[in-house]
Structure 1
Amino acid sequence: MNRAYECIATGPRARPGLAAGAALAGLGLLASYLFVRAKTRQAERDNPPQGKFVTVDGVRLHYLERGEGPTLVLLHGNGTYSRDFEISGLIDSAAGHYRVIAFDRPGFGYSERPRDTMWTPDNQARLLHHALQALGVDNAIVLGHSWGTLVALAMGLRVPHFVRGLVLVSGYYYPSPRLDVALSSPPALPVVGDLMRYTVAPIAGRLLWRATLKRAFTPQKIPASYRAMPAWMALRPSQLRASAAEAALMVPSALAMARRYARLKVPVRVLAGTRDAVADCTHNAERLHERLQGWSKNSELGLEPGVGHMLHHAHPEKVLAAIDAIATQAGVAPALHNPRAEALARASESGV
């Protein structure tokens, strides 16, 4: 009797404790939601769109455009947007001789990412090709960094008559076990992922922001210029969904793409850092180059010793040199800047 009485007596006492815990958890999620919403709005106020918009296939895309000459398309990696190419200096340096178009890929920056489409490299390549056609582009050199290399490769395979050549920087081309994929993918899940993206995931991402950048830039230090990359733009719920979805797609996309590399006929420059902690250069860049050389002899490999994943920040001049080499090979090279030749010409004109 005593034990039965104790069980009955303690049961009702436990329920208020659970209810209180649930209420606290609910309040915590509400506070997180309000904080994330405020930070998202502030990030968008502080960093309004700096480029233009084009709507194709029902999707509104944001892009930066600078310069004149042969068209050069820049495709950023996962977790960032076109601002990354601005901070690296690549847009401004290339704009001296090219018409540079740097897209925010679907879901990143200020570009839309409709949920009724699985945004594989092929689907993104199709959309961006249509966008370029809408902008009056007949052909282009396409540069991709990291995840963007898969989209660049898909463009080269889908529309080889349109793509004059590819520059692939720090790419992931072949599937491999990835713990980071498992950890980064949950915000892409329906319902639970939506709850995470609007509450705890952005806050956790902000706490890990410096560690994430450190892994990307290692062994180099995070450059002071990268302070201009607004963390909360990358941590907005909409962009977190895109990032998580691309993390989940990374391995199957590389597996599917690898089966088609033998069909690639356009000139390629494969660039990578030997100390890349995100996409191992031996497994990815060197392997892709060897396969392309065996199939078409159209590939050149450039390895940068002691450089990590953000090669376009460490050596933007090497990336620009690869772009120029592709332009020359494709027969679309602009009149490249030659300081010595210009100095000699000025001296000749002055009679020296």
Structure 2
Amino acid sequence: MLAALYGYNQKKLRKAEMDFPPSGKFVKADGIRLHYLERGQGRPVVFLHGGVLRGHDFDQVMELAAAKGYRALAFDRPGYGHSARPKHRSVTPIDQAKLLHEALTKLGVDRPILVGHSWSGLLVLSYASLYPGDLAGIVTLGGGMYKEGYPAEKGDPISSIVTMPVVGPIVMNLLLAALGSVMVRQIIKATFAPEPLPADYERETLALWLRPSQFRANREDVLAFAPAASEMSPNYRRILAPAVIVVGLRDPFPTKEHSYRLHRDMPNAALIELPHAAHMIPQHHPQAVIDAVEKLPHVSRHKT
């Protein structure tokens, strides 16, 4: 039975790779191969997805950005989509900011606008803290930025099991493909609620997120978030780059409170409230993302 479960899991993994092959380009940072999408030419805007899928989360946004005269890039974060992830060392939000900086330098991207959705709110703020002179602005979309109120603030049992040295690989390689679909459907439905879950997004999530490598990457990110947020959040008041903080008023997650808190903490930030939006802003409200990017040049040192 164990052999059958393992074989089924491997079959599902191969099918997922065939159904959703890489469609972008690759760049290496610190020896790690990162996959990214690119559209258009002009001022660079870099889009960073949350904790579920990959850079394709921003497909609609990137088309709009390219039409507006931007060079739009969207990365699969380490371990997601078709980007690699180190197996024997941590890749915290701070580490990912360093990898991103190296990748952008290699691609000739100078002073980009960084757009971070959900988990990547902390990533773009870490980048701004580490490289204050190397970015033109920040946009957060339903971003998670603080330890307080984060769902895994005090740990997460599933993440702890999955990241265990011996037990984790056994659980993922024997049970994930067979039993994980029920859990994934519940999670992504709640992530989109109360807005509808697109059928194509569900199919892609079931194919890619249930790969052991991506599921482990996600669980590692969940555990790494609170310590990194605790380390970085005292720096937010010193970030002088213009920022636009976008919050969906129907967002069911504590990221809504994080957005309001960040607006109070950052000296040069504007707040945009979307009355009809929930958490998955890039999928359901792509124009609002571009509107936020376009607002950056008008953000002054006085709160708006």
Q: Which residue of 2 aligns with 1:61?
A: 34
- Comparing 63-72 with 168-177, greater Cα deviation is found at 168-177
Q: Which of these residues, 300, 321, 324, is aligned with residue 270 of structure 2? A: 300
Q: Which amino acid in structure 2 is aligned with residue 182 of structure 1?
A: D
Q: Which residue of 1 aligns with 2:288?
A: 318
Please state if 1:190 is matched with 2:160: no
5 Å-filtered alignment, 1:173-322, equals 173-175=145-147, 176=149, 178=151, 182-185=156-159, 186-227=161-202, 229-282=204-257, 284-292=258-266, 296=267, 298-322=268-292
- Comparing 59-68 with 184-193, greater Cα deviation is found at 184-193
Q: Which residue of 1 aligns with 2:64?
A: 93
SS in 1 for 2:291: helix
Q: How far is the alpha carbon of 1:241 from its aligned partner?
A: 1.1
- Distance verdict in 2 for CA 1:115–1:64, change over 3 Å: same
Q: What's the TM-score, normalizing by structure 2? A: 0.92
SS in 2 for 1:309: coil
Q: How far is the alpha carbon of 1:252 from its aligned partner?
A: 1.7
Q: Determine the C-alpha separation between the residues in 2 that align with 1:49 and 1:223.
A: 21
Identity of aligned residues (%): 38
Q: Which amino acid in structure 1 is aligned with residue 261 of structure 2?
A: R
Q: Which residue of 1 aligns with 2:89?
A: 117
- Distance verdict in 2 for CA 1:70–1:34, change over 3 Å: same
Structure 2: gaps (5+ residues) = none
Q: What number of residue pairs does the alignment pair up? A: 296
The answer (yes or no) to whether the contact 1:170–1:272 under 8 Å persists in 2 is yes
Q: What's the TM-score, normalizing by structure 1? A: 0.80
The answer (yes or no) to whether the contact 1:43–1:230 under 8 Å persists in 2 is no
Q: How far is the alpha carbon of 1:199 from its aligned partner?
A: 1.6
Q: Determine the C-alpha separation between the residues in 2 that align with 1:263 and 1:113.
A: 31
SS in 1 for 2:156: helix
- Distance verdict in 2 for CA 1:43–1:320, change over 3 Å: same
Q: How far is the alpha carbon of 1:30 from its aligned partner?
A: 2.3
SS in 1 for 2:97: helix
Answer with 1 or 2: which has the greater Rg: 1
Q: Which amino acid in structure 2 is aligned with residue 191 of structure 1?
A: V
- Comparing 61-70 with 222-231, greater Cα deviation is found at 222-231
Q: How far is the alpha carbon of 1:230 from its aligned partner?
A: 4.5
Q: How far is the alpha carbon of 1:227 from its aligned partner?
A: 4.8
Q: Which runs of 4+ in 1 moved over 3 A?
A: 327-330
Q: Which residue of 1 aligns with 2:7?
A: 34
Structure 1: gaps (5+ residues) = 1-26, 331-352
The answer (yes or no) to whether the contact 2:188–2:202 under 8 Å persists in 1 is no
Q: Which amino acid in structure 2 is aligned with residue 107 of structure 1?
A: G
More helix by share: 1
